[in-house]
């Protein structure tokens, strides 16, 4: 199997449009991790992503009669740009179906290359189904984003370049995984020539379809409603059939990382290269850091910087989370006495640490609640801070891993519910597009009185809302049924300690 792929990789036509990207030494990461780290800079491709390789290799090998009919695909953005550029270079028609919540930078880039863009659905699966139906109805050629031999071979040229560019024995290559086309192509070439080099996939929490497949021994489909969409470029419910045939034999390990770790990796890439990668683009770096923190015997590593198509307004959210992901910031809640000098005593208890955020709210006649962010050196240092404060008789809650606290409560500290009110708290997500918030409010209707509402646009594909309803526990079953009928993703935050301390 590998020999067949190697031949296809060596005979691919990607260099008619794509560049051989540099393998850049990451000096800062190398120093911090005590490993020779190189970054494969696929963000430097003409479409700022590796996807051009597979798309062009597939389209350029189509017979003339199929080229004349035109091509179609579904994509979260980067594959779309690859298909659009390939079609532009070959002088053929291209239709791209994208979810309505696709970042505008990707939609505009596709249109700029002359492709017809159709926005349909709120997920990749919905866009893909619509593209497949259009392909059959209009006799267009469907170009798969990852589950295709020629696409895999095109992506595999990255593995060929790494083998040629790295000066000695290479211990590990870290590869971001969505549908699996990139890791399959790299694994096929590298394992054929250098079988001792480890191929390690990296996936985002909530879309770890390869990890799930490896655990089950077969491909599995993740629930679409639970897919994590922060790293939208790899948000895929099921690994491709052709990629999995390779991955199950030739991928050595899979690492799963969270949003904060991805944000920290974006910052790492920026510090070493001055490139601002997209979340999926920095995924491999996040996984490499997690893996190397526990592994031994790795002296040299390559991580793929797979893309840099990120909306500018998303950087605010990324920068907020980067320090937490790097374990350089702790988010704590504390209760202090409400009397003169108590804040000063609390700050002295923290010691000489950088305070990154401080929110204070009067709670009652005898106490006050504080939401505080402070600089730490590591997870162990964070635990030591909490222990030290507790030893000084402070009631402390570590909220560093509390999603609702970081997304919403930190911006709402100070708003407590009036005494005597019954309230049920929920967190919602809905596809972010023009008019989405109005649609959300309309969908909620007027059956339940809203007692709290917080919405913050993070520049991402999904809008996030925290809502309190004037209702009691006995109403919860009816309210849950009502919310399920509306169809938005939601979570009850009724028992969230951040809510109890600052808002209830």
Q: What is the pLDDT of residues 77-97, one digit of tens each?
A: 799 999 999 999 999 999 999
Instruction: Judge if 288 and 423 occupy the same domain.
Output: no
Structure tokens at 75: 């994509």
Instruction: Judge if 223 and 367 occupy the same domain.
Output: no
User: Is 409 domain-assigned?
Assistant: no
Instruction: Judge if 339 and 210 occupy the same domain.
Output: no
- Domain limit, last residue, from 278, 302, 323: 323
Task: Write down the H helix ranges in 199-240.
Answer: 209-216
Residue-number span of the structural domain to which 98 is assigned = 51-142
Instruction: Judge if 312 and 342 occupy the same domain.
Output: no
Closest by CA to 381, choosing from 356, 336, 350, 345, is 350
User: Is 128 domain-assigned?
Assistant: yes
Distance CA 104, CA 338 (A): 48
Contacts of 257 (CB under 8 A, 6+ apart): 202, 203, 204, 205, 265, 283, 286, 287, 290
User: Is 408 domain-assigned?
Assistant: no
Q: What's 92's domain CATH number? A: 3.40.50.1100
| DSSP class of 409 | G
User: Is 232 domain-assigned?
Assistant: yes
Closest by CA to 181, choosing from 153, 211, 146, 157, is 146
Residues lower than pLDDT 70 in the chain: 323-327, 338-341, 343-344, 359-365, 412-420, 432-438, 446, 456-461
Query: Which pLDDT score is estimated for 344?
Result: 67
Instruction: Judge if 261 and 183 occupy the same domain.
Output: yes
- Domain limit, last residue, from 82, 107, 142: 142
User: Is 368 domain-assigned?
Assistant: yes
User: Tokens 């490993």 belong to which residue?
Assistant: 35
Distance CA 312, CA 289 (A): 25
User: Is 7 domain-assigned?
Assistant: yes
Q: What's 355's domain CATH number? A: 3.30.70.260
Rounded to the nearest angstrom, the gap between the alpha carbon of residue 371 and the centroid of all alpha carbons in its chain is 27
User: Is 293 domain-assigned?
Assistant: yes
Q: What's 422's domain CATH number? A: 3.40.1020.10
Instruction: Judge if 25 and 80 occupy the same domain.
Output: no
CB burial of 253-264 (b: ≥16 within 10 Å; e: otherwise) equals bbbbbbbbbbbb
- Domain limit, last residue, from 109, 142, 175: 142
Instruction: Judge if 230 and 88 occupy the same domain.
Output: no
Instruction: Judge if 29 and 173 occupy the same domain.
Output: yes
The whole-model pTM stands at 0.78
Max intra-chain CA distance, the chain: 83
Instruction: Judge if 232 and 283 occupy the same domain.
Output: yes
Among all residues, which ones are annotated catalytic? 51, 306
Instruction: Judge if 165 and 249 occupy the same domain.
Output: yes
Total of domains in the chain: 4
Instruction: Judge if 132 and 260 occupy the same domain.
Output: no
Instruction: Judge if 388 and 476 occupy the same domain.
Output: no
Query: Which pLDDT score is estimated for 457?
Result: 55
């Amino acid at each position: 199997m590998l020999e067949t792929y190697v031949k296809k990789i060596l005979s691919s036509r990607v260099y008619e449009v794509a560049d051989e990207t540099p393998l850049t030494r990451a000096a800062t990461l190398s120093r911090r991790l005590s490993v020779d780290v190189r970054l494969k800079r696929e963000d430097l491709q003409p479409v700022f992503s590796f996807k051009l390789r597979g798309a062009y290799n597939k389209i350029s090998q189509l017979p003339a009669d199929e080229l004349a009919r035109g091509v179609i695909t579904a994509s979260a953005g980067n594959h779309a740009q690859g298909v659009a550029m390939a079609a532009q270079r070959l002088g053929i028609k291209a239709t791209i179906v994208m979810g309505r919540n696709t970042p505008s930078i990707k939609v505009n880039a596709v249109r700029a290359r002359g492709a017809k863009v159709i926005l349909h659905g709120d997920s990749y699966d919905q866009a893909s189904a619509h593209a497949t139906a259009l392909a059959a109805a209009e006799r267009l050629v469907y170009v798969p984003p990852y589950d295709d031999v020629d696409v895999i071979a095109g992506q595999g040229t990255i593995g060929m370049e790494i083998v040629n560019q790295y000066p000695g024995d290479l211990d590990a290559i870290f590869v971001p995984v969505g549908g699996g086309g990139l890791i399959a192509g790299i694994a096929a070439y590298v394992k054929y020539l250098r079988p001792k080099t480890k191929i390690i996939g990296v996936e985002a929490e909530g879309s770890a379809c390869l990890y799930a497949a490896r655990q089950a021994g077969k491909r599995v489909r993740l629930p679409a409603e639970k897919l994590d969409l922060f790293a939208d470029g790899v948000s895929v419910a099921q690994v491709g059939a052709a990629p999995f045939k390779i991955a199950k034999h030739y991928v050595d390990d899979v690492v799963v990382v969270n949003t904060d770790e991805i944000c920290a990796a974006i910052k790492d890439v920026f510090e070493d290269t001055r490139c601002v990668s997209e979340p999926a683009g920095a995924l491999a770096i996040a996984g490499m850091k997690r893996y190397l923190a526990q592994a031994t015997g790795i002296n040299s590593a390559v991580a793929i910087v797979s893309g840099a198509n990120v909306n500018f307004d998303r950087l605010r959210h990324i920068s907020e989370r980067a320090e937490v992901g790097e374990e350089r910031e702790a988010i704590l809640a504390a209760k202090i006495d409400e009397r003169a000098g108590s804040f000063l005593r609390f700050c002295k208890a923290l010691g000489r640490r950088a305070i990154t955020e401080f929110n204070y709210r009067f709670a009652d006649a005898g106490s006050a609640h504080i939401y505080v962010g402070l600089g730490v050196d590591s997870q162990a240092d964070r635990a030591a801070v909490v222990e030290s404060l507790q030893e000084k008789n402070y009631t402390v809650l570590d909220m560093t891993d509390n999603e609702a606290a970081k997304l919403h409560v930190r911006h709402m500290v100070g708003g407590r519910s009036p005494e005597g009110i019954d309230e049920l708290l929920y967190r919602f997500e809905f596809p972010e597009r023009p008019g989405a918030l109005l649609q959300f409010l309309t969908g909620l209707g007027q059956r339940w009185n809203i007692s709290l509402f917080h919405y913050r646009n993070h520049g991402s594909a999904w809008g996030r809302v925290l809502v309190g309803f004037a209702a009691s526990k006995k109403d919860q079953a009816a309210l849950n049924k009502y919310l399920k009928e509306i169809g938005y993703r939601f979570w009850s935050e009724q028992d969230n300690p951040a809510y109890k301390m600052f808002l209830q």
